[in-house]
Amino acid sequence: MGSNSLYGPLDPAPDAGYPDAPPRMGFFTDTSVCIGCKACEVACKEWNGVPDDGFDLLGSSYDNTGGLSANSWRHVAFIEQPAVDALAAAGTTGPQFLGMPGKDLPGRTLDAPRTDFRWLMMSNVCKHCTHAGCLDVCPTGALFRTEFGTVVVQEDICNGCGYCVPACPYGVIDRREDDGRAWKCTLCYDRIGDGLTPACAQACPTQSIQYGELDELRGRARERVERLRGQGVTEARLYGHDPEDGVGGDGAFFLLLDEPEVYGLPPDPVVSTRDLPAMWKRAGLAGLAMAAAVAVSFLGGRS
């Protein structure tokens, strides 16, 4: 499994025992071109045999899945922002956001773009963290690091203990009610091992989900942000790309058009097991101190 150490930058596959590992692979999800079609959700379910979610209407969104779960390894969020919120996010007062034809508003024809709101859409997925807390806490080895740097759950080894669920800083991992085992995105380990593109990226019609070598994707993402900002989209930013963040950077990162919290993402994710080495060290020192105190007391009592 590897040390998953938090001391300095980490190349996760070699750290996990793959000395001749191929380049690290991952996802770059550009939310600025996501159209909310949910083709990624469908492709993921079809390829991986993921059960349906019940297709419940949430009552508060056009979205029907609601979030990542054991039965939704990709989730497309639908975030409807009123004009005031959308304009504030961009730091402007002008109606410059593209909408879609809709209800007839005063002084506006039906075929004109709406400016009273905007949609933010984002296809969320497991982040395949560099420093993965789920790996640290799994007692059976059901979770393992692949040669591509991704994190996979082996369902035939998972005992359903659930330790990995609270260990994930993104709330990705979930257990199925019928068997209690943990399930999440595998980054289509079976497909990429054969040189194929993961099902979600293959199905995405706008290339919002891009798959490839992680270093190349990071460079591509930086260029995309610069291009958008040059076009006046000043709120464009990257999330999960920084190797110096609390999880050592993500294997699946995003271009966002608002603060992470708007998308339901933690602003400063931290791997939950980062303090374990220091905790064990302090516990060891405390144990030695207690043993020394007992020894001194015992020897003092005999004198």
CA distance 132 to 164: 10
Listed in order, strand segments (DSSP E) in 149-220 are 151-153, 174-175, 182-183, 209-213
Residues of the chain with pLDDT > 70: what percent? 75
Joined together, the tokens standing for residue 257 give 């058009």
CB 249 within 8 A of CB 271: no
pLDDT at 255 over 70: yes
Query: Which residue type, as a one-letter code, is found at position 88?
Result: A
CB 238 within 8 A of CB 221: yes
**pLDDT for the residue 81:** 83
Joined together, the tokens standing for residue 251 give 């294997």
Q: Which residue has the tokens 């020894």?
A: 295
Other CB atoms within 10 Å distance of the CB of residue 161: 16
Joined together, the tokens standing for residue 30 give 């550009």
Query: Which residue type, as a one-letter code, is found at position 274?
Result: R
Nearest alpha carbon to residue 32 among 262, 240, 236: 236
Joined together, the tokens standing for residue 33 give 């071109």
Alpha helices in 111-203 (DSSP H): 133-137, 164-167, 189-192, 199-203
Joined together, the tokens standing for residue 274 give 């980062």
What pLDDT digit, counting tens, does each position of 91-106 carry?
554 434 444 333 334 4
pLDDT bracket for residue 114 (50, 70, 90)? low
Listed in order, strand segments (DSSP E) in the chain are 25-30, 74-82, 117-125, 143-145, 151-153, 174-175, 182-183, 209-213, 237-239, 252-256
What pLDDT digit, counting tens, does each position of 167-177 carry?
999 999 999 98
Other CB atoms within 10 Å distance of the CB of residue 274: 18
User: b or e along 166-191 (b: 16 or more beta carbons within 10 Å of the residue's beta carbon)?
Assistant: ebbbbebbbbeeeeebbbbbbbbeeb
- H or E element: which one contains 44? helix 39-48
Query: Which residue type, as a one-letter code, is found at position 253?
Result: F
Residues of the chain with pLDDT > 90: what percent? 65
CA angle 156, 5, 269 (to 5 degrees): 80
CA distance 90 to 84: 10
What pLDDT digit, counting tens, does each position of 207-239 carry?
999 999 999 999 999 999 999 999 999 999 999
Instruction: Give the DSSP letter string of 92-104.
Output: --S------S-S-
CA distance 210 to 204: 9
pLDDT at 195 over 80: yes
Joined together, the tokens standing for residue 223 give 């260029």
Query: Which residue type, as a one-letter code, is found at position 116?
Result: D
pLDDT at 52 over 60: yes
